[in-house]
Structure 1
Amino acid sequence: MSFQNLLIDISNGIATITINRPSKLNALNKATIEELHEAIKSANNDSQVKVIILTGSGEKAFVAGADISEFAHFSVNEGDRLAAKGQELLFDFVQNLSTPIIAAVNGFALGGGLELAMACHFRLASDNAKMGLPEVSLGVIPGYGGTQRLPQLIGKGRAMELVMTAGMINAEKALSYGLVNYVTTQEELLPTCHKIAGKIMRNSSVAIGKAINAVNANYKDGVNGFETEIENFGACFGTEDFKEGTTAFLEKRQANFPGK
């Protein structure tokens, strides 16, 4: 499958998806959101892919926001549909993906860009990265989950300040806030992501998918995360990965998980 706005590389069990609109600082337009959905879905369905890394092309931006020109003249109903469709197609889809997806934030992650990074399971940033939700400076609010995920990650007070001031924070402050897990140089960003991916890939992909589901359950209204954990824990006992993992442990050898 070919894409106009993405670069795809799959090797050694890792799918690297690069948003490639450098002239627009990789801004998200409708076509890019649709392509990201298809690319991520394809990687998630590929049994050879164990980890997905999402990043932006160039050294300036991960994603510098949404493409404002596409919705500047939208009506109330059109704005509502824009947010609902985007969340369903990409942002919620990414958050609930069973394959681990890491955001490699290699520059500006603003508006929809930060929302996309926050939807990923965790984030690494290069030391030149800047992050923020500047939507109120345009007379609108974050519409792709930003008002929900940012407080979950950094706390209500800090999130309120960032949203209301439309300000940006640098990578070190993002690290201190818990918004990103690591800060590296630009050159070491992807290699560090690959190093972490390698650690992930040694474990059961089935168990990881169920763990993602259980962790996410804690943040869903009307869902008891403990009950989801119990259900997923029990389900693991019926998998080939569980049989292999426990057998390998008892035989004092490294497990070779079949991913089933």
Structure 2
Amino acid sequence: MKLLRAVVFLVASSATALAGEPAVSRYGKLSFRTTGNGSVTRATFFNPPINLVDKFVISDLLDFLRTLQPGPGKQTAKVVIFDSAINDWFLGHYDLHNIQLPFTDDKGAVFEQVVDCTRLMLNTTSTIFIAEINGRSLGIGQELSLHMDMRFAGPKALASSFEESIGLAAAAGGQAFLGPTIGKGRAMEYLLGAKGIDGPTGERLGLFNTYYSTAKKLKSEVSALAERISWFPQHSINDTKVTLSVLNPTTEELDAQLGRFLPLMFLPEEQATVSKFLELSGNQSESKFELDLPESSVKAARDGVYSYGY
């Protein structure tokens, strides 16, 4: 069934390209569909089985974000809706192989691309980014959605920055963005507790703009909002986004947090914990451990399974 879904998705993506719309990205981890008056683009993640944010997803996302950077006489999408073709997953966590020693030049390049994605998303003031989340949004997947301008949740939505449970931190801006979004006290609660946030809770906290009880309602309402925004001039959209961007963390704040994170990766106990996580998760497959995140990782910490556990 999973193979069938993959074939259907790729065929549909190819058909979209033939219709004159953007083709599937370099590695096929993002596909694109332009809707309405041509000013709205749906960018759909597809990296089965769990939409793991690996080097291929990062590369395709970075390529796409580069096309959205403004230039003289250049027309870009007014609204981009990010969604997922993987049932139960919006975006998974970072590929932990990329922080295992030895830390090669290739792994370092992926890390730099993550930073570039964050910067480009924040610098793209001519486009509104909307996350349409109807599945798990974990670790860096949660962080990338926090970088977006709006987030809407469906019945399967579950967000978590669970990095504390494995001795790391939400270093791709997760800490710096979550505080202004839901408040310092609640951000501390959910980050330090490595807690999950479902759709209704996320709406109450302000993490999600709106929670919808059906996937159909989620998609229709997000599409309607995107189309509504697309009727308006891009210069007014730009002004509003620039003005409200003062609420984002600064580049200096993001760099400082990243500087604190990097030494954590190389601690011997951290390397042992990452190796254990990879083992427990079936090498980041669609295992029970992955499906039960963040609780499965919290339980491993509580039970002393990780190297730092008590």
TM-score range, shorter chain: 0.7 to 0.9
| Alignment equivalent of 1:16, drawn from 29, 42, 45 | 42
Q: Between 55-64 and 35-44, report the one with greater CA deviation.
A: 35-44
Which residue number in structure 1 is paired with residue 51 of structure 2?
26
Q: 1:189 aligns with which of 196, 213, 218?
A: 218
Report 1:1-260 matches (<5 A). 1-3=23-25, 4-12=28-36, 13-23=39-49, 25-43=50-68, 47=75, 49-73=77-101, 85-87=113-115, 89-97=116-124, 98-184=126-212, 185-221=214-250
Moved beyond 3 Å, runs of 4+: 43-46, 74-85, 218-223
What's the TM-score, normalizing by structure 1? 0.77
Q: 1:99-144 CA deviation, whole Å, 9 max, x = no partner?
A: 0110111200111011011100111011211111001112211111
Change (3 A) 1:103 1:7: same
Residue identity opposite 2:41 in structure 1: A
Distance (Å, rounded) in 2 between the aligned partners of 1:124 and 1:221:
25
Q: 2:132 is paired with a residue of what secondary structure?
A: strand
The change in CA–CA distance for 1:120 and 1:78 in structure 2 (over 3 A counts) is same
In structure 1, distance between residues paired with 2:61 and 2:123? 15
User: 1:67: Cα distance to partner?
Assistant: 1.4
Whether the aligned pair in 2 keeps the contact of 1:86 and 1:144 (CA below 8 Å) is: yes
Distance 2:234 2:188 in 1: 36
Q: Does the C-alpha gap of structure 1 residues 127 and 177 become closer, same or farther in structure 2, counting only changes over 3 Å?
A: same
Closer, same or farther in 2 for the Cα pair 1:63/1:158, shift >3 Å?
same
Is the contact made by 1:83 and 1:143 (CA closer than 8 Å) also made in structure 2?
no
CA distance 1:63–1:74, change in 2 (3 Å): farther
CA RMSD of aligned residues (A): 2.5
Secondary structure at the residue paired with 1:53?
Answer: strand
Among all aligned residue pairs of Structure 1 and Structure 2, give the percentage whose two residues are the same amino acid: 23
C-alpha separation between the residues in 1 aligned to 2:142 and 2:156?
A: 15
Following the alignment from structure 1 to structure 2, what is the Cα–Cα distance between the partners of residues 99 and 118? 16
The answer for unaligned runs of 5 or more in structure 1 is 224-260
SS of 1:203's partner is coil
- Pair 79,164 (structure 1): closer, same or farther in 2 beyond 3 Å: farther
Counterpart CA distance in 2 for 1:74 and 1:169 is: 34
